[in-house]
Amino acid sequence: MLGWIRIPCAHAHRLLSERMDRAIATDDRWRLRLHLMACDMCSRFERQIDLMRVAIRRFGE
């Protein structure tokens, strides 16, 4: 019944990147949220791309 909400890591990775560049759909936000609760690897990826964003913005500071 909850099949719609389950996404593979490959999809979660793409959504994590995409939401840095635009607001993603509500369904996708839920899929991602639940995926991250269960998946250490995607949570790690999330922290890594966040760090990259902060680091790039500090160039020249």
Nearer to another protein, 6 or 33 (CB): 6
The residues, any chain, with a CB within 8 Å of residue 24's CB and separated by 6 or more, are 15, 18, 32
Binder among 2, 4, 21, 38 for another protein (CB under 8 A): 21
Could you give the CA distance from residue 29 to residue 18 in angstroms, rounded to a whole number?
11
Residue 22 binds another protein (CB under 8 A): yes
Q: How many residues bind another protein (CB under 8 A)?
A: 31
Tell me, rounded to whole angstroms, the distance of Cα 59 from its chain centroid.
24
Binder among 27, 29, 30, 41 for another protein (CB under 8 A): 41
